[in-house]
Structure formats: structure tokens, C-alpha cells
């Protein structure tokens, strides 16, 4: 890792663009998004104290706590926290209304605004006209033709990664899958020659992310100015990230299209205008962050489910073994319905982005309750994907539900209410990388299953889902690698 520089190369509108300015922007965005709310009758819900008690003091799992709260309050619960009026819902009708129909009149909630300290004005955090422009500029990088190029890289990196595996080795599956998807994200998104830097980016990213939500706490500006923990470390890590990304951007500007996503972003223009370095930095950071951790968790939960359901694993092996040892490739994806069904069922039960939220900017009403502008609506897909109202045998791992009568993968056959299935979100903010993630997860599952399976080393140990930014198993999950 190169040392900390005093002068950052990146500027926006002539002003130095660094972690300090991003942190201030994040605080301003959170403050600006707050609206003084009228006193209206609100649906019942838990007290903020009892929630904080469960989540912080007792260390309970947030997805499980929210599931319990929604069961106790019939799918709509209210609670307030530091001036924010929060509506927690498991009603698919309200989900569609807020995220799809009224999506244009909502913005991201404070917890996502705080990640501007890391992501700046990237696609995940940008709003309004700026978001629309960026979405148009980024879209070509996710076009089907590009996906075929990324797919080759994914299989090649997958092969390199598994070449080191040993029969009988036991280790944490999350760490292994994260290494694999990080490597792939580094290569496919940021460029083939930066895999070493990808590790550095990830380390610094973890430091910054771990502390990004603290920026909204009292005295954070003063503490940041004095370089006190956690801000001194956070700002240093943020500046290191900027330096690495600026170097990668400079290299790309020199070398032209190298087939990765960043080259495509550099080439992308609207009305003859492309992205400046500050914007490229934010988008590169955003796709890198959004593009590896989620897929790593998707694969991790899939291996766990297969280990717990050996007859379903056998059902998958039949599809993979019928391919006579061929390496999977992009055109094969449509011919792997069982692999896709297994992955869809894993997304249903353990959605990596387990909850999404919005701050409303227009008054809404639902079931006779007024939801005034400025409210925060949270939709835990963890709860909706497991609702007995919309899924048969909701708690059972049953991938066959995703196949139609001809044995093809089909969401239409399975999903009874559109608002009860949204692993990649909804509407104008739907995940731009969904096809990238599907391509990667399908190819890696098929590639790994050709030769390997995983056993739970401690099958009696309870697996608890932990809902932070992504849904991860709590603690390490040791699995034993078995050659098939």
C-alpha cells in the first residue's frame, strides 16, 4: 500500500475531493433529508428502547427481531429514532407502492446516505437527475455483450482459485467465497492487472465502511477534525482508497478498452460528455463494493443449504454431471435450470441485501394510516420472502418451486405477488448488477460443483443470520471440502 499523500489528485468543480469532503457531504445530505413531520396518528410498534435493547444489548439478529415485530403488528409497525419516523412493513402492496409506483418521490434513507462518506455520489447513493444520468452512463457496461466477456474472466478466476483447494481441508466458507468474488470483482470491474490492488481496496474499504455510520453521531465533525478514533483511521483509509482508484483510473485512460467495466465507464458519454475523475472514482468504488460482498454471501448461503439438504444437492449434481465435465460458459446459463433454481431458492431464504429502505418525499396513506412525507419505510425482504401468505412451505428449501412444467427456470410460475419477491430491489433503483451477479453465481456454482462439495464441519452448531449491510452467517462457518 502506498503511503498517505497530502495532495489528492482528484478534484470536483475545482475543489479538493477527498474523504473529508465526502464525510461532510454525507452529513449535509442526512441533515437536508430530514423533514419536520406533522403529529399524525401512527400505527403501533415497538419502542425504540426495546428495539435497541434487543439489537445492541442482547445482540439479537436484526432479521429475526424485525420478523417478530412484524408478526406481532400484522405487517406494519411504527417506531421512531432520533427524529426519524420509521414504518417497518411486510406488506407487498406497500412495498410496490413505495419502491415502484412512488419510487420517483423517495430518496435513500439516512443509513445509506451515511455511506456517501465512502461511495460519494455513486449510483447507489446518488439521487434525482444526477442518478438518472449516471444510470444511463453506466448501463452499457452491464449490456449482455459485455456480460459474455466478464463470464470468461469469472470462469478463469474460478479455476485459478479452486486449483489450491485440498480434499478434507476445513475452513471458513464466507472468507473463501469473499476472496473468490473479490478477485473476480477486481478483474472484471477494475481491470485485469489490479488484483493485488483489489485486496488493498477491500482492506481499506472495510475500515471505512465499519465506521461510516458513526458520521451522524454528535461531535463526529470535531472528532474527525482532530483525527480521533474512529475518524483518523477512517479518513486515512479513505484517502488510500482514493489514491489506489486514481492510479487505476489513470492506467485505464492510458491503455484504452481492456474489457473490464471501468474501461466501459470511461468510454461512456452523454451528449459528448463523459464522467470526470471524481465521478469515475465514486462509480468504481460503488460497483466494486456492491459487486463482491453480496455475491460472496449468495454463494455462502447456497453451500450451507446444499450441505443441509443432501437430496437437493444430489438433484443439482445430476444436472452438472450430465454435462460430461464441460466447463460452464455464458451461453450455457439458460441450460442450467436446476442450478438457477437452487440459487433462486437460496436468494429467497437468505437474500444478501436483506432489507431496503426509502425516505418518502410525498404524503402516502396505507390501510387508513397517513404516512407523511419525510417518513422512512423499511422493507425487510427476509420477512416477505418467507411469508406463508405468498409462499408454499415458506421455510423449506425447495428449489423445484422455480421450475415450470417443462423443467425451465421461471419466476412467473412461482411468484404469487410481485411485491413479495425483490432480492434485487425495485423500480428505478433496481440493482444494475443483477445479471452480472446471476452470471457469476451460476457459473461458479456449476464450476465448483463439477469437482467439489462442502460438508458442515460442525453440523450441530446453530447458524444465525446477521443482518448488517449484507446478510451473513454470524461468526465463522467452518466447512469441510470434499472432492466429488
Cis before 358? omega within 30: no
Rule CB under 6 A: say whether 350 interacts with ligand HEM.
Answer: no
Tell me how far apart the alpha carbons of residues 195 and 186 are, in angstroms, rounded to a whole number. Answer: 5
Closest CA to 468 of 284, 238, 213, 287: 213
Rule CB under 6 A: say whether 299 interacts with ligand HEM.
Answer: no
Q: Which of 252, 281, 340, 429 binds ligand HEM (CB under 6 A)?
A: 429
Rule CB under 6 A: say whether 298 interacts with ligand HEM.
Answer: yes
Rule CB under 6 A: say whether 69 interacts with ligand HEM.
Answer: no
Q: Which of residues 372-411 bind ligand HEM (CB under 6 A)?
A: none
Q: CB-wise, 77 or 356, nearer to ligand HEM?
A: 356
Minimum Å gap between C-beta 441 and ligand HEM is: 7
CA-CA-CA-CA torsion sign (445, 181, 133, 380): positive
Query: 80 by DSSP, 3-state: which?
Result: strand
Check if the beta carbon of residue 71 is closer than 8 Å to that of residue 361: no
Q: Which one of the spans 2-10, 43-51, 352-360, 407-415 is the region binding ligand HEM (CB under 6 A)?
A: 352-360
Q: Which one of the spans 66-74, 236-244, 301-309, 433-441 is the region binding ligand HEM (CB under 6 A)?
A: 433-441
**Sequential DSSP letters for 316-367:** HHHHHHTTTTPPP-GGGGGG-HHHHHHHHHHHHHS-SS-EEEEEESS-EEET
Q: Which of residues 103-132 bind ligand HEM (CB under 6 A)?
A: 123-124
Q: Which of 433, 465, 467, 473 binds ligand HEM (CB under 6 A)?
A: 433
Q: In what order do the strands lie in the sheet with 84-89?
A: 76-81, 84-89, 376-380, 355-360, 106-107
> What string marks each residue from 300 to 339 as x (binds ligand HEM by CB under 6 A) or -?
----------------------------------------
Q: CB-wise, 353 or 443, nearer to ligand HEM?
A: 353
Q: CB-wise, 46 or 423, nearer to ligand HEM?
A: 423
Q: Which of residues 434-463 bind ligand HEM (CB under 6 A)?
A: 436-437
Give the helix ranges, DSSP H, for 82-143. Answer: 92-95, 110-114, 116-119, 128-138
Minimum Å gap between C-beta 6 and ligand HEM is: 31
420: cell is 413479495
Q: How many CA atoms lie within 13 A of 352 on its CB side?
A: 22
Query: Under the rule (CB under 6 A), what is the footprint of ligand HEM?
Result: 123-124, 135, 286-287, 290-291, 294-295, 298, 352-353, 356, 423-425, 429, 431-433, 436-437
Amino acid at each position: 500500500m502506498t503511503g498517505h499523500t497530502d495532495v489528492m489528485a482528484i478534484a470536483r468543480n475545482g475543489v479538493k475531493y477527498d474523504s473529508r469532503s465526502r464525510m461532510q457531504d454525507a452529513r449535509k445530505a442526512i441533515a437536508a433529508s430530514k423533514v419536520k413531520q406533522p403529529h399524525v396518528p401512527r400505527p403501533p410498534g415497538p419502542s425504540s428502547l426495546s428495539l435497541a435493547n434487543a439489537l445492541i444489548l442482547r445482540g439479537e439478529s436484526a432479521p429475526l427481531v424485525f420478523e417478530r415485530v412484524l408478526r406481532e403488528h400484522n405487517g406494519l409497525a411504527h417506531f421512531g429514532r432520533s427524529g426519524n419516523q420509521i414504518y417497518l412493513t411486510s406488506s407487498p402492496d406497500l412495498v410496490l407502492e413505495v419502491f415502484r409506483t412512488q419510487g420517483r418521490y423517495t430518496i435513500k434513507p439516512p443509513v445509506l446516505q451515511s455511506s456517501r462518506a465512502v461511495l460519494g455520489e455513486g449510483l447507489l447513493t446518488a439521487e434525482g437527475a444526477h442518478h438518472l444520468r449516471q444510470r444511463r452512463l453506466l448501463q452499457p457496461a452491464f449490456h449482455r455483450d459485455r456480460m459474455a466477456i466478464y463470464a470468461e474472466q469469472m470462469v478463469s478466476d474460478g479455476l485459478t482459485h479452486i486449483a489450491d483447494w485440498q480434499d478434507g481441508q476445513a475452513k471458513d466458507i464466507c472468507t473463501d467465497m469473499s476472496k473468490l468474488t473479490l478477485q473476480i470483482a477486481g478483474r472484471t470491474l477494475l481491470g485485469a492487472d489490479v488484483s493485488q490492488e483489489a485486496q488493498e481496496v477491500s482492506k481499506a474499504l472495510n475500515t471505512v465502511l465499519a465506521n461510516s455510520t458513526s458520521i451522524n453521531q454528535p461531535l463526529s465533525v470535531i472528532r474527525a477534525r482532530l483525527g480521533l478514533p474512529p475518524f483518523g483511521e477512517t479518513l486515512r483509509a479513505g484517502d488510500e482508497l482514493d489514491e489506489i482508484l486514481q492510479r487505476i483510473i489513470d492506467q485505464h485512460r492510458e491503455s484504452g478498452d481492456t474489457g473490464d467495466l471501468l474501461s466501459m465507464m470511461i468510454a461512456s458519454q452523454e451528449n459528448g460528455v463523459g464522467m470526470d475523475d471524481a465521478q469515475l472514482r465514486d462509480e468504481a468504488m460503488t460497483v466494486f463494493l456492491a459487486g463482491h460482498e453480496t455475491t460472496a454471501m449468495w454463494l455462502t448461503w447456497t453451500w450451507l443449504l446444499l450441505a443441509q439438504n443432501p437430496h437437493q444437492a444430489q438433484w443439482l449434481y445430476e444436472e452438472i454431471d450430465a454435462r460430461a465435465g464441460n466447463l460452464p460458459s455464458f451461453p450455457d446459463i439458460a441450460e442450467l435450470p436446476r442450478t438457477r433454481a437452487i440459487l433462486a431458492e437460496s436468494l429467497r431464504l437468505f437474500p444478501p441485501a436483506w432489507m431496503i429502505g426509502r425516505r418518502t418525499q410525498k404524503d402516502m396513506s396505507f390501510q387508513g394510516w397517513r404516512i407523511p412525507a419525510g417518513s422512512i419505510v423499511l422493507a425487510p425482504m427476509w420477512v416477505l420472502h418467507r411469508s406463508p401468505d405468498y409462499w408454499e412451505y415458506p421455510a423449506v428449501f425447495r428449489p423445484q418451486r422455480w421450475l415450470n412444467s417443462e423443467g425451465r427456470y421461471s419466476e412467473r410460475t412461482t411468484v404469487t405477488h410481485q411485491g413479495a419477491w425483490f432480492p434485487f430491489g425495485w423500480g428505478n433503483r433496481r440493482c444494475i448488477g443483477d445479471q452480472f451477479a446471476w452470471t457469476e453465481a451460476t457459473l461458479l456454482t456449476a464450476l465448483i460443483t463439477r469437482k467439489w462439495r462442502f460438508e458442515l464441519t460442525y453440523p450441530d452448531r446453530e447458524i444465525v443470520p446477521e443482518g448488517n449491510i449484507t446478510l451473513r452467517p454470524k461468526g465463522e462457518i467452518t466447512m469441510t471440502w470434499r472432492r466429488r
